[in-house]
Each structure stands twice: as C-alpha cells, then as structure tokens.
C-alpha cells in the first residue's frame, strides 16, 4: 500500500509543478548556444519582475538546433516566447503553426533582434593549417566542422557567410559563388544537428581543422575550455547575424502570460539586459554598452541577409529548401 | 616461451579490463572536480526532476509490459487462434523500428499538426512535449522484452503440465498460478530486468517527444546530454554514473537470474 502511495505521489508531482501557487511559469524555447546567456537573463529578470510586481516567475528553458526547435513549437511545444537563431524560423511558426501574426518582426526594436553576432573561424592553437580567410576553407586537405543547415540556424548563417563572401569576390556571379561554397562543403566530414553539437565535435572529439561558429559560441568555447587550445580567426568579411525573439501570442494568451512574456523580451533591450548580452559574447544593440565592449568585438566588415540575399524569405527557399543550392552541392558520405 | 603462457587467463583478463575501464572512466570523470561537485550535480533540482521522471516512466511501463508480455506469451504458446502471427509480429515491431521513427510517429499522431492534434488541443490534453508522451515512448520501446523472454521457454515447456492440471480438476486461474507461473518465474524476472534497464536508459524515442524542457520533460539520459553540451563535464558524468550504477545492478541481477534459469 505504501509503495502504491509513493508511486501515486511520483505521478502527481510533475503535473503539479506547473500550477504552483501564485507562480507564473514561462517557457522560452531557444536555440543551441544561448544556454548560458538565458540562464543569467532569467535570474536577472526574475529578480527585477519580483521587485516590480511582487510576482514570482519561473522561466523554463528548452534548447536545440533552431530549425528543430521551431518545428517542435509548430508541433505543439508550448513556448510563451521563442528566441531563435534567425527570423525565418519564427516566420515558419507564424505560417505553419499560426501562433503569432506574420508581422511579428516589427513589434520589437531592431528587427526584434536584441543582440547580434557574426560567423568566425575557430582554429586549433597556433593555426597549424594557416587559415586566414574564407579562401583557405576551399583548399583541399582542410577539414571543416559546421552543423547541418537543415536543422541549425547557425549553420545557415555559416553557409550564407561563405556565399556572401564569394559573391563579393566574384563580383556577384552566383554560379561562381555556388562553385566556391561547394568546394568549401567538400571539406566538411560531418554535419551535426545543432551548433553546440558541432562545437563539441570540434573541441571535445578533436575532429577538424576549423569550426565555423557563431562568434559568441567560439568565445565561450575558448573561455570554457582554455585559451591555450584554440584561437579565433576573423575573416575579411562576414555576415551580420540577427537572432530574433518573439512572443508566441496564442500560447501566451492560453497560459495567461502575455504581459510577463512581453516584459521578459523587453528586458533584453534594457541596459541591464544588454550588459548580460555583452558578457555572454553577443554584440549588444545599445551603443553605450557596445562602446564598453569593443575589446571583445573587433570591428569587422559585415553584410546583412537583406543586402546580400534579399532577406530570409528569399534566401531560405533558394538555398535550404529541398532541392535548394545546399542539396545540390552537398552529398553526404563522399 | 610466450606461447606457453596460460591463454585462457589472459583472455579473461582482457575481457574484464574491457568492461572495467569504461566504467572506471565514468566514475573518474564524475569525481574529477571532487565529491562536492559530484553531489551538487546529483542534488541539482533539474537532476532530481530527471530522476523522478525516469522513475515514473519506468514505474508505469514495466508493470504494464509485464502484464502484457505475460498475457501475450501465454496466449501465443498455449493456444491457437487466428491472428497469432500478426500478434507475434506486433510484439517484435519495437525491435525492428528505430526508436527515433517511433518518436516521430507519436509526433505525427499527437502533435499539434498531427491526426489527433486538434482534438487534443480542444480538450487541453498534452501528450507530446509533456510527461504522457515520454511514458508512451518508453512503453513502446520496452514492449517486446518480457514477451520475447517468455515465448521460447513456454513454447519449449509445451502444454502437457497444464493439460494434466486441468484433467485433475484445476480451473484456469489455478492452472496459471500453480502450474504455469512457477515454471516461468525466473524467465519472467529476467524479462522484467531487461525491460527496466531499457526503460531507464532509453534515449532516441524519448528525445523526439520530450521537447527538452529542463526540469520538466528531461529524463536522466537527456539530462546527461544537456549537461555535456553545456560544458559541465563533471556533472554530466556524475549523472551518468547513476545510470552506470544501475547498469551494474542490472548485470548482477541478470547473472543471478540466469544461474537460476539454468
């Protein structure tokens, strides 16, 4: 009998947690490298919301490849807010899941991207393969680690960064750019599902000569795993990555969390929020905070998706849909 | 000279080492940053929640599959009926299907865009990305273990003893409790042990339906992956050491039961 009661209590607890008295629970569905960032943001926001309103907020996190996370939200993962790697994944949630309006991106400042990043090259200490720029990635004999653009947002930024570089180099010749990117991806032995998986493949399993990574992810890997093992190489030009955040209207309304979820996203734009952002190696939007962190973020020539590719709505089907340029150039297992 | 060394002994040593080294490595990594970090990793609220969820999934799926496996093996080996082969095929299905595909199928059925998505949303029932989905996935992947363990044995034992019991006047229940069950109890236990081990260790199917909400829908194996991906290597191995301990217990229990079966 007692063991039955024990089993019963086990069964009840996981469901009871969501409705703890007076506590609001938010679910933030995010992409891979933001784990450490949101850990700190959540603590700070919880404290600030408590002083402002007296309410307790618990923020739950889910992380994974950005495309995969968007898919989960469409399939019913009840995110109050999504903080994904790129706008297109949130567009998908709007189009396929009808959980937020199509014009979501205009609701918050800076294209709903409170922080930016870029794509850098992480190499092993001393740069044994002498990798300086995108051209070096197309050389035979260089092994490149990058995640799968079908599932990972970071991987799509990586891909477009290489493509954008080639477009500049060849004066806008798309065919030549495609050829260039094809020779880069010929050097990719394995595609992980998410950015963090690719990072562990490179740093922990020791596979590959260079990792195409988010700047924040590369800086974090160096901080966590020792500056004496890796170094960051800035290419001559790269892409301005704008990871977007959005309120998932339908879910938040159902949960009755719209106000706090909105405040949570707005908190990212406050001075305090921007300081945390910079601390976790994302480039802050706030000019004053950015000015204080220039040592961390070298000046770099960056192009946007809108400039080089006419926006995500055009770039996504062209490059990453079934039969897009990525499918044309990448055949696994060669 | 070398060839005169006693071969069997060295071979045994090699097998022992190949088993001991990885296990030792898990514990060495787990205790790398000291016992304090080890305990902290296990007492973390997310780890406790993962332990609780894993225990819940096992506590539901093991008894369920015990009952089902017993019933299925009994009817398959002691009776003939139409659809018997279909039932055998269904039992084997989880062995044949990749756990990831099983998980995807659940998403396809119960996800917001799935067949029953609208119905479930209307009634505010959550299956996928919630605890029921994880239990469901665990039940599915552990489905064959008990039945598959019992069927060959019960087949071999035949129906003579049961027939004798019935001729002597026993009813169905009496035959089952006094004749069938005592004959198969060790094989049954063996199946339950394998079933429990798999229920606790399942990754693929559970990963697909979990949604990875930490502290809510992450089981122990998923929690290990999260910790590892967040560069908390010592913590990841600390939690992994729990699973390793459980595996050791399973192996010991398994070999005890094996001896009884022989």
- Which residues are within 8 A (CB) of A245 and not within 5 positions of it... i.e. 6 or more apart? A81, A82, A83, A84, A108, A112, A113, A114, A265, A268
Q: What pLDDT, on a 0 to 100 scale, did the predictor assign at position A333?
A: 54
Cα separation, A229 vs A220, in Å, equals 13
> Touching check for A16 and chain B: CB below 8 Å?
no
Residues 53 through 92 of chain A touching chain B, CB cutoff 8 Å? 60-64, 72, 74-78
Q: Please give chain A's pLDDT, 334 residues, in tens.
A: 444 444 444 444 444 444 445 899 999 999 988 999 999 999 999 999 999 999 999 999 999 889 899 999 999 999 999 999 999 999 999 999 999 999 999 999 999 999 999 999 999 999 999 999 999 999 999 999 999 999 888 999 999 999 999 999 999 999 999 999 999 999 999 999 888 899 999 998 899 999 999 999 999 999 888 788 999 999 999 999 999 999 999 999 999 999 999 999 999 999 999 999 999 999 999 999 999 988 889 989 999 999 999 999 999 999 999 999 999 999 765 4
Which residue of A4, A7, A14, A28 is the best one to mutate when testing the B interface, meaning the one whose CB has the most B CBs within 10 A?
A: A14
> Touching check for A280 and chain B: CB below 8 Å?
no
- C-beta separation of B143 from B195 below 8 A: no
Full DSSP string of A198-218: HHHHHHTS---SEEEEEHHHH
In this prediction, residue B65 has a pLDDT band, given cuts at 50, 70 and 90, of: very high
- C-beta separation of A73 from A89 below 8 A: no
Cα separation, B10 vs B193, in Å, equals 31
- C-beta separation of B243 from B201 below 8 A: yes
Q: What pLDDT, on a 0 to 100 scale, did the predictor assign at position A226?
A: 76
Query: pTM of this prediction?
Result: 0.86
| Subunit contact B226:A63, Cβ cutoff 8 A | yes
Q: What pLDDT, on a 0 to 100 scale, did the predictor assign at position B180?
A: 92
Give, rounded to a whole angstrom, the gap between the first and last alpha carbons of chain B. Answer: 39
Return phi, psi of residue A145, to 5°. -110, 125
Which residue of A77, A193, A197 is the best one to mutate when testing the B interface, meaning the one whose CB has the most B CBs within 10 A?
A: A77
The length of chain B is: 262
Write b or e for each residue in B145-161: b if 16 or more Cβ atoms lie within 10 A of its Cβ, otherwise e: bbbbbbbebbeebeeee
Does residue B1 register a pLDDT over 50?
Answer: no
Does residue B5 register a pLDDT over 70?
Answer: no
Per the structure block, which two tokens stand in for A236?
């001559």
Q: State whether ipTM is beyond 0.85.
A: no
Q: What average pLDDT score do residues B170-177 get?
A: 92
Q: What is the pLDDT of residues B183-211, one digit of tens each?
A: 999 999 999 999 999 999 999 999 999 99
Cβ-in-10-Å burial (0-12, 13-18, 19+) of A11 comes to: middle
Q: What is the pLDDT of residues B84-142, one digit of tens each?
A: 999 999 999 999 999 999 999 999 999 999 999 999 989 989 999 999 999 999 999 99
Q: Which one has a higher pLDDT value, B245 or A1?
A: B245
Return phi, psi of residue A254, to 5°. -60, -40
Per the structure block, which two tokens stand in for A287?
């000019």
In this prediction, residue B262 has a pLDDT band, given cuts at 50, 70 and 90, of: confident
Residue A58, min C-alpha distance to chain B (Å): 11
| Subunit contact A76:B117, Cβ cutoff 8 A | yes
Q: What pLDDT, on a 0 to 100 scale, did the predictor assign at position B238?
A: 96
Residue-averaged pLDDT of chain B: 90
| Subunit contact A63:B212, Cβ cutoff 8 A | yes
Residue B216, min C-alpha distance to chain A (Å): 7
Q: What pLDDT, on a 0 to 100 scale, did the predictor assign at position A14?
A: 43
């Amino acid at each position: 009998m007692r063991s039955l009661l024990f089993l019963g209590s086990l069964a009840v607890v996981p469901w009871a947690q969501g409705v703890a008295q007076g506590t609001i629970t938010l679910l933030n569905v995010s992409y891979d490298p933001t784990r450490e960032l949101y850990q700190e943001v959540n603590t700070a926001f919880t404290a600030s919301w408590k002083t402002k309103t007296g309410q307790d907020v618990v923020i739950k996190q889910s992380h994974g490849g950005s495309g995969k996370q968007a898919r989960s939200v469409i399939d019913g993962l009840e995110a109050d807010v999504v903080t994904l790697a790129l706008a297109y994944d949130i567009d998908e949630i709007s189009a396929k899941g009808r959980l937020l309006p199509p014009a979501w991106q205009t609701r918050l400042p800076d294209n709903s991207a409170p922080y930016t990043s870029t794509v850098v090259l992480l190499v092993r200490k001393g740069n044994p393969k002498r990798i300086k720029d995108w051209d070096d990635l197309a050389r035979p004999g260089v092994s490149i680690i990058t995640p799968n653009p079908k599932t990972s947002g970071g991987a799509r930024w990586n891909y477009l960064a290489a493509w954008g570089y080639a477009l500049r180099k060849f004066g806008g010749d798309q065919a030549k750019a495609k050829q260039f990117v094809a020779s880069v991806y010929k050097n990719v032995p394995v595609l992980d599902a998410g950015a963090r998986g690719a990072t562990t493949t490179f740093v922990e399993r020791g596979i590959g000569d260079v990792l195409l990574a988010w700047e924040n992810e590369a800086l974090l890997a160096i901080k966590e795993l020792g500056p004496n093992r890796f170094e960051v190489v800035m290419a001559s030009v790269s892409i301005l990555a704008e990871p977007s955040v959005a309120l998932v209207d339908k879910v938040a309304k159902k949960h009755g969390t719209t106000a706090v979820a909105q405040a949570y996203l707005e908190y990212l734009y406050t001075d305090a929020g921007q300081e945390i952002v910079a601390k976790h190696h994302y480039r802050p939007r706030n000019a004053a905070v950015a000015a204080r962190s220039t040592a961390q973020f070298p000046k770099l020539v960056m192009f946007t998706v809108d400039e080089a590719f006419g926006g995500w709505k055009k770039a996504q089907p062209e490059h990453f849909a079934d039969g897009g340029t990525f499918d044309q150039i990448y055949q696994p297992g060669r | 000279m070398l060839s005169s060394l006693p071969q069997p002994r060295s071979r045994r040593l090699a097998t022992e080492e190949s088993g001991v080294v990885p296990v030792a490595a898990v514990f060495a990594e787990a205790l790398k940053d000291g016992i304090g970090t080890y305990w902290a990793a296990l007492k973390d609220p997310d780890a406790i929640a993962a332990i609780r969820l894993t225990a819940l999934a096992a506590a539901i799926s093991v008894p369920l599959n015990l009952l089902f496996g017993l019933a299925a093996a009994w009817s398959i080996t002691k009776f003939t009926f139409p659809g018997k082969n279909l039932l055998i095929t269904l039992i084997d299905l989880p062995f044949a299907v990749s756990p990831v595909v099983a998980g995807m199928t659940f998403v396809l059925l119960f996800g917001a865009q799935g067949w029953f998505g609208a119905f479930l949303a209307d009634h505010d029932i959550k299956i996928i990305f919630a605890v029921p989905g994880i239990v469901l996935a665990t039940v599915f992947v552990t489905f064959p273990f008990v039945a598959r363990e019992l069927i060959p044995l019960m087949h071999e034992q035949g129906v003579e003893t049961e027939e004798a019991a019935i001729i002597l006047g026993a009813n169905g229940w009496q035959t089952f409790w006094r004749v069938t069950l005592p004959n198969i109890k060790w094989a049954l236990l063996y199946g339950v042990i394998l079933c429990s081990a798999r229920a606790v260790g399942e990754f693929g199917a559970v990963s697909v339906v979990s949604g990875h909400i930490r502290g809510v829908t992450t089981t122990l194996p998923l929690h290990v992956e999260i910790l590892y991906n967040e560069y908390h290597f010592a913590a990841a191995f600390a939690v992994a050491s729990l699973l390793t301990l459980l595996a050791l217990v399973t192996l010991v229990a398994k070999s005890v039961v094996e001896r009884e079966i022989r």
